[in-house]
Amino acid sequence: MYNSGKIIIGIIIFLVLATFPFWFNRGVAQAPPKLEVGTQEKQCVESTPFMKANHMKLLVDWRDYVVRDGKREYTSTTGKKFDMSLQNTCMKCHTQKTKFCDRCHDYVEVAPTCWDCHIAPVEPGQAQQAKALRSSN
C-alpha cells in the first residue's frame, strides 16, 4: 500500500508553506519606504547610523532620566546639549510621524509604545481634517 494520495497532499501542503514568502509577494519587490526627515538640520542628536540602530534605546534612556531622575539636559557625543523631550526635541524636526516614524516601523512590523502616553503632533494634512471634523459637528 502506497498512500500516494495522502502523501501528495502532504507534499503540496509542504510546498505551499515552504514557498509562502515567494507567492505572497507575487514577485513584487516593494522598495523600502522613503522617510521624510522633515528638517534642514545636518545632524540629529547623534550620528545617523547610531540613530538608525539605537534610537529606541536613546529614547528609553531619556525617559528614564526625565521621569525617574528629573534630569532634562542631554549632552551628545559631540558636546551639544539637548532638552530630553520626545515632543519638543525629536518631533520639532521630525514633525510628521506618519511619514517618518511610522513608515519604517510599519515596514518591519515594530510597535513602539511611545504613543501610548505621548500625543503625536498634528500634521498639516491631519490639521485640515480635524478642522473639517470640528466644523461638521
Partner 1 sequence: MNAWSSLFASLFAVIGLVIIALLGVAPAVGLGTLFGVVIPYVAIAVFVIGIVVRILQWAKAPVPFRIPTTCGQAKSLPWIKADNLESPYNIWGVIGRMFLEVVLFRSLFRNTRAEVADGAVVRYASAKWLWLGGILFHYSLLTIVVRHIRFFVEPIPSFVALLSSADGFFEILVPTIFLTDIAFVLAASYLFFRRVFIPHMRYISLANDYFPLFLILGIGITGILMRNVWKVDLLAVKELAMGLFSFHPTVPPGIGSIFFVHLFLVSVLLAYFPFSKLLHAPGVFLSPTRNMANNNRMVRHINPWNYPVKVHTYEEYENDFREKMKEAGIPVEKE
Contacts to partner 1 by CB under 8 A: 1-4, 7, 10-11, 14-15, 18-22, 24-33, 49, 52-54, 56-57, 59-60, 104, 107-111, 113
Return the number of other C-beta atoms located less than 10 Å from residue 74's C-beta.
Answer: 19
Give the strand pairing for 73-75 and 81-83: antiparallel
3-class state of residue 92 by DSSP: helix
Q: Residue 124 CB, nearest distance to partner 1 (Å)? A: 25
Residue whose C-alpha cell reads 516601523 in the numeric block: 105
Q: How far is the CB of 122 from partner 1 (least distance, A)?
A: 26
Instruction: Give the shortest CB-1-to-partner 1 separation in angstroms.
Output: 5
Task: Decide whether 13 or 127 has the Cβ nearer to partner 1.
Answer: 13
The nearer residue to partner 1, 51 or 130, going by C-beta atoms, is 51
Nearer Cβ to partner 1 (109/137): 109
Q: Least distance to partner 1 from the beta carbon of 112, Å?
A: 8
Pick between residue 18 and residue 133 the one whose CB is nearest to partner 1. Answer: 18
- Residue 18 carries which side chain, given as an amino acid letter? A
Nearer to partner 1, 13 or 130 (CB): 13
80-114: string of b/e by CB count within 10 Å (b at 16+)? eebebebeebbbeebbbbebbbbbeeeeeeeeeeb
Which residues are registered as beta bridge partners of 83? 73
Rounded CA-CA distance 11/46 in Å is 52
